[in-house]
Structure 1
Amino acid sequence: MSRDCIEVRRLHRFFGKTKAVNDISFSVSRGHVFGYIGPNGAGKTTSMRILATLDLPSYGDAFVDGFSVVNDPELVRRRLGFMPDSFGTYRDVNCSEYLDFFARAYGLVGRERNQRLKWVLDFTGTKGMAEKPVRGLSKGMKQRLCLGRALIHDPAVMILDEPAAGLDPRARIDLRKMIRELADRGKTILISSHILTELAEMCDTVGIIEQGHLLATGSVEQIQRERAKHRELVVRLLDRAEEAAADLTARDAIGGLHRDGCRLRFEFEGDDVAQTELVAWMVGKGYRVAEVISHKKSLEDVFMQVTEGLVQ
């Protein structure tokens, strides 16, 4: 059995002259969370809709749990749960009836259906609201209910399009915990979000897309290492700061140095080993280094560096 539960192969989707998705390829291992990052209009939702069998590619293919979205859409739907960025509700049904409808739509019957309903209500924290009308739910509870709908048939793969949009901080934290727990249970999850700090915390790998092109993929640490080779260092000395500043400015890997008393702040191009060697060099020169603070580029910094803010 392949370790990749999501596989996208040279995916293209054109709308007239607009290339919404342009030759995208990536894969997500079983039990991993993949963060899909990009500005509005980048092609995220289009490619997620193709994975969910709601649209067909112009060229290329995608596979969910080993099945083609082009050739085996019915088999894909049984293995995939899709949570769109907005979803319809029904005014005159309660939460339990809403979930029961989708359980029946997926062919669940009898004891199996009852067990799935109970588990989903418990897992999403909506058990206490089972009899409450859907129209009376808050934004956060509606998102929980939508997640439950996507989970009702126990899919191997989850596609979540902006699930944290509009949620308060506590609701986002709860959602993040649920996503990580689902991954720990072996589910493969592809999630898009504009809240990059949250993606950095919950995702095993991320992909950055702009104008239909996938610009970077890999773990957050890998992308930070490859795309953001500069870091900011702050070195606090006990004395001789002006002399140290002159010595540092003469080195190739250092730029933008500013001195504030005995504090030196500068951009440093190098990894952890190079940073250690720099500090050792300063100590070897007789500078009394009291403190070193390293600020690595965040996922937001990398996103701003890789993308150009272009839309289609």
Structure 2
Amino acid sequence: MIRFNGIYKNFGATRALDNFSLEIGRGLVYGLIGPNGAGKTTAMSILATLLLPEAGTATVNGLDVVEEAEKVRGIIGYMPDFFGVYDGLRATEYLEFFAAAHHIPAHRRPGLVRTLLELVNLPDKADVYVDSLSRGMKQRLALARCLVHDPKVLILDEPASGLDPRARAEMKEIIRHLKHLGKTVLISSHILPELAEICDAVAIMEAGRLVVAGTVAEITAVSRGARQMRVAVLDRAGELAGFLATRPGVSETLADEQEVRFLFDGNQAEQAALLQAMVSGGWPVVEFTEVRRNLEEAFMAVTAEGVEDNGGN
């Protein structure tokens, strides 16, 4: 559905995108994350036909964003991180204006506007002036604006920026609903735990490059070398830590009252053998599992690895 292939983009002496390539399947909610200046907004702007790449190609549903920009605009909805509203317009008038801009027939606009306001949970704000809405309501109205022409793809740049927890929760539910409607959603955010909840997959960017991409489970499992393991026992955790420290592949054991954490670089067969050895040794094991990082920890880890790979530059 979405493909970036070897995209380069410069702003003067600054390279914003550096051989950036990424494929996003149809019907997915896909997160794009990275530090400020990583190139997320640049990539989204190229996809939205607002910027031209220096080299490389980008396509949406097989349409080239440069050669077929007008067709691309007909199948995407773009919500930038900063947007304006028109003073003096009511919510219905605001949406009707954009429906007209997308050549929606006049007789269809009232029904469409009602449907969109229901979708973004603003039906009671139909006759309210846009500039009097809260930030969260404006964000939802802006999302409704992106949907007036029923696009196949939504490009949402920091849609939850500046929202309170309740407004962010409302935005998450709307995005989930849009996925159920078959939309492909590309979304950027600095609120990584919430991205982990709604995204089917994520891509981590840094310095204009793709660092790693995959499902949230795959990304949080990314690690160099040993995996962190946790074993919970009913008692004798300290003794177990001492025992584990003598086993092949185990390092950095740390005991708590009823659990031991350690690093393990063995394969699955060796992990099974380690569990068997603990049980045979008489330890009352109630849980033995790999400790996965959350998305924020994975982001910090893989971007740090990228810095090391580039000699710290």
TM-score for the superposition, normalised by structure 2:
0.91
Instruction: Name 1:133's counterpart in structure 2.
Output: 129
Q: Which runs of 5+ in 2 are unaligned?
A: 308-312
Equivalent residues in 2 for 1:10-21, closer than 5 Å: 10-21=6-17
Change (3 A) 1:163 1:112: same
1:301 aligns with 2:269: no
Cα distance in 2 between the residues matched to 1:21 and 1:145: 31
Q: What's 2:41 paired with?
A: 45
Letter in 2 for 1:117: V
Q: Percent identity?
A: 44
Report the more deviating stretch, 273-282 or 158-167: 273-282
Following superposition, the deviation at residue 114 of structure 1 comes to 2.7
Q: Contact conserved, 1:116 with 1:153, CA < 8 A, in 2?
A: no
Confirm whether residue 245 of structure 1 aligns to residue 244 of structure 2: no
CA distance in 1, matches of 2:104, 2:270: 58
Partner of 2:230: 233
Query: How far apart in 1 are the matches of 2:178 and 2:266?
Result: 37
Q: Which moved more, 1:243-252 or 1:289-298?
A: 289-298
Say whether the 8 Å CA contact 2:238–2:256 is kept in structure 1: no
Judge conservation of contact 1:79–1:157 (CA < 8 Å) in 2: yes
Q: Cα offset for 1:257?
A: 1.5
Residue 32 of structure 1, CA deviation: 0.5
User: CA, structure 1 residues 157+247, in 2 after alignment: closer, same or farther (shift >3 Å)?
Assistant: same
Q: Distance in 1 between matches of 2:194 and 2:6?
A: 28
1:254-282: CA deviations, max 9, x gaps? 32212345542323446777655432221
Task: Give the Cα separation in 1 of the matches to 2:60 and 2:25.
Answer: 11
Within 5 A, what are the aligned runs for 1:47-86? 47-86=43-82
Q: Which amino acid aligns with 1:142?
A: K
2:198 to 202, 209, 223: 202
Alpha-carbon separation, structure 2, partners of 1:46 and 1:231: 36
Is it true that 1:152 corresponds to 2:148 in the alignment? yes
Query: Residues 285 and 86 of structure 1: is their aligned pair in 2 closer, same or farther, counting only changes over 3 Å?
Result: same
Q: Deviations over 1:193-213 (max 9, x none)?
A: 011111111111100000001
**Residue segments in structure 1 that go unaligned for 5+ positions in a row:** none
Give 1:234 deviation, angstroms: 4.2
Q: Which moved more, 1:105-114 or 1:70-79?
A: 105-114
Aligned to 1:33: 29
CA distance 1:301–1:232, change in 2 (3 Å): farther
Output the amino acid matched with 1:236.
Answer: V
Quote the offset at 1:285 in angstroms: 2.5
Cα 1:181–1:269 change in 2 (3 A) is farther
Shift of 1:304: 0.5
SS in 2 for 1:49: helix
Shift of 1:56: 0.5
SS in 2 for 1:186: coil
Change (3 A) 1:288 1:80: same
Q: Which of 270-279 and 228-237 deviates more?
A: 270-279
Alpha-carbon contact 1:32-1:204 (below 8 Å) kept:
yes
Pairwise CA RMSD: 2.2
CA separation of 1:237/1:98 partners in 2, compared to 1, >3 Å: closer, same or farther? same
Give the alignment of 1:274-293 within 5 angstroms. Answer: 275-292=271-288
- TM-score by length of structure 1 reads 0.91
Task: Confirm or deny that 1:175 pairs with 2:153.
Answer: no
Give the 3 Å change call, closer, same or farther, for CA 276–296 of structure 1 in structure 2: farther
| Alignment of 1:116 onto 2:81 | no
Which of the numbers 103, 107, 122 marks the counterpart of 2:103? Answer: 107
For the 8 Å contact 1:231–1:267, the answer to whether it is kept is yes
